[in-house]
Amino acid sequence: MFVRRDGRLNAIAGDATGVEITHTFTRSAPDGWTGRTGRLDRHALDELAWAPSERPLAYVCGPTGLVEAVASTLLELGHDPARVLTKRFGPTGG
């Protein structure tokens, strides 16, 4: 649902039924950007995510803090924990 701007992801969304991608810049957006901006908080997820009753499969990937916050909020909104998949990444080294 929330991902970096990437042509490969847009291609997947264009080829797959039921896949929707919403690009959101949480810090600064490029000049001319007219899409979503702001944090992926409860309000944004409640507005953008499919209803828990639809049993969507949610993939959350990003820095650990973002993944934890988004996944936790999806669970608070009533999503099935087994259908919220996560992948975390962060800085390496010292």
DSSP-assigned letters across all residues of 16-79: STT---EEEESSPPPTT--SEES---HHHHHHHSPPGGG---EEEEEEHHHHHHHHHHHHHTT-
Written as six digits, the tokens of 38 are 């702001």
Structural domain contains residue 94 = no
What is the reported pLDDT for 44? Answer: 93
User: Is position 84 within any domain?
Assistant: yes
CATH of the domain at 41: 3.40.50.80
**Domain assignment present for 30:** yes
Domain total in the chain:
1
Domain extent for 57: 2-89
**In the prediction, which pLDDT does 71 show?**
96
Q: Give the pLDDT means over successive 10-residue stretches in the chain (94 positions).
A: 54 70 83 90 92 92 89 97 91 54
89: three-class secondary structure by DSSP = strand
pLDDT number for residue 26: 82
Report if residue 11 sits inside a domain.
yes
State the Cα–Cα distance between residues 92 and 34, nearest whole angstrom: 33
Q: Shortest CA distance to 49 belongs to which of 17, 71, 26?
A: 71
pTM value? 0.74
